Structure 1
Amino acid sequence: MIQSVTTTATTATTDPKAAKLKSAAQAFEAVFLRQMIGAMRQAGLGDGMLDSDASNQFRDMADSKLADSMSQKGVLGIADMLIKQMTPIVEHESGTAATSGAKA
């Protein structure tokens, strides 16, 4: 089984903005993985004996599920890197919103 190399985004937080950021980062990683898997499928050697539109559709659905699963596990670590990069921005915006709300 493939394990995540980094675990910076696995800390449990109760901050709703951090949860939204984690969800968005994982969704981005899933989209990236879907595109990568799709490109690998297109680079195949040709049609197989059992290939049909129906089997291609089910293969695409399986690839999508695989990409979602891989993004949840953090296989590539893209979500962790995005969270690390975007957390200071989210915290800064939260701090700005909190201070502007206090002034009003």
Structure 2
Amino acid sequence: MSTVSTTASVLATGASAGQPQSPERAKLREAAQAFEAIFVRQMLSSARADNFGGNDLLGNDQGHDTFTQMRDERFAEIASQSGAFGLARQIEAQLARMIAPPAATAPANPAKEG
């Protein structure tokens, strides 16, 4: 793996290799990526809605529309998981501030003084 892809991978996960992740943070990451995927799908859908007066070379049938929608959905999923746009990373960073940091583990039987 190249340095660029390694860095992108670390940025996309938001953690270094030795850093454990809380279940809440993992759920937050999934939700942020899902939101980014929805956002990218909506952008692609809006961009395709404007035909700009041109005719589609492949016709305007339902099969082509379905294929285009499926392709856009897959592209949006890949983009959100790879961190290509960075929206999920920003959402996660903002919302992670609301997650309480893990409490330091206290000894099970603290010694009594005195």
Counterpart for residue 44 of structure 2: 37
Q: Distance in 1 between matches of 2:80 and 2:55?
A: 29
Q: Structure 1 pair 44/53, CA: closer, same or farther in 2 (3 Å)?
A: same
Greater C-alpha Rg: 2
CA root-mean-square deviation: 2.3
1:50 aligned onto 2:54: no
Equivalent position to 1:13, from 20, 36, 46: 20
5+ residue gaps, structure 2: 104-114
Q: Which has the higher contact order (CA 8 A, sep 6+)?
A: 1
Q: Quick check: 2:12–2:83 contact (8 Å CA) kept in 1?
A: no
Q: Structure 1 pair 70/8, CA: closer, same or farther in 2 (3 Å)?
A: closer
5+ residue gaps, structure 1: 96-104
Counterpart for residue 95 of structure 2: 86
Shift of 1:83: 1.0
- SS at structure 2 position matched to 1:55: helix
Shift of 1:75: 1.1
The TM-score normalised by the length of structure 2 is 0.69
Higher helix share: 1
Q: Quick check: 1:9–1:83 contact (8 Å CA) kept in 2?
A: no
Q: 1:49 is matched by which residue type in structure 2?
A: L
Shift of 1:9: 4.0
The TM-score normalised by the length of structure 1 is 0.75
Q: 2:50 is matched by which residue type in structure 1?
A: A
